[in-house]
Amino acid sequence: MSHAPPTTDTGFFGHPKGLAYLAFTECWERFSYYGMTSLLTLYMVEQLFKPGHAEHVLGLGALRHLFAWHGALSDIAFASLIYGWYGGLVYFTPILGGWIADRWLGTKATVVTGALLMCAGHLAMAFDASFLIALLLLICGSGCLKGNISAQVGDLYPAAAESRRTQGYTIFSAGINVGAVLGPLTCGGIAALYGWHAGFGAAAGLMMLALIVYLAGQRHLPSGRTQADRAELPPMTADEKRRTILLVLVAAMTLFPTIAYPMIWSIGVLWVDQHVALGPVPASWFNSVDAFASIVAVPPLVAVWAWQARRRREPSDVAKIGIGALLTGASALFFVAGDLLPGAGGKTNVGWALAGFFGMGVAFLYYWPVLLALVSQAAPPSGQGDHDGRGVPVILSRQRDRRVGRQLLRPDDAGFVLDDRRRDRDCRRVARAGGGATAGARARARYLISSGSPPPSSPTVAMKKPAISFALVAPVTPARVAFSRYHALSATIPI
How confident is residue 305, by pLDDT bands cut at 50, 70 and 90? confident
Per cent of the chain over pLDDT 70 is 70
Higher pLDDT, 402 or 93: 93
pLDDT at 267: 92
The model's pTM is 0.72
pLDDT value for 316? 86
Domain ranges of the chain: 17-223+235-418+471-494, 420-468
pLDDT digits (tens, 9 = 90+) for 164-195: 777 777 788 778 888 999 999 999 999 999 99
Task: Give me the chain's average pLDDT, please.
Answer: 75
148 has a pLDDT exceeding 50:
yes
17-223+235-418+471-494 — its CATH code?
A: 1.20.1250.20
pLDDT of 65 higher than 60: yes
Does the pLDDT at position 202 exceed 60? yes
Q: How far is CA 68 from CA 46, 73, 263, in A?
A: 20, 6, 20
pLDDT of 17 strictly over 60: yes
Q: Between 483 and 234, whose confidence is greater?
A: 234
At 233 the pLDDT is 61
| Least confident among 50-54, 171-175, 322-326, 331-335 | 171-175
* For residue 242, pLDDT beyond 70: yes
pLDDT, residue 170, reads 73
pLDDT at 221: 87
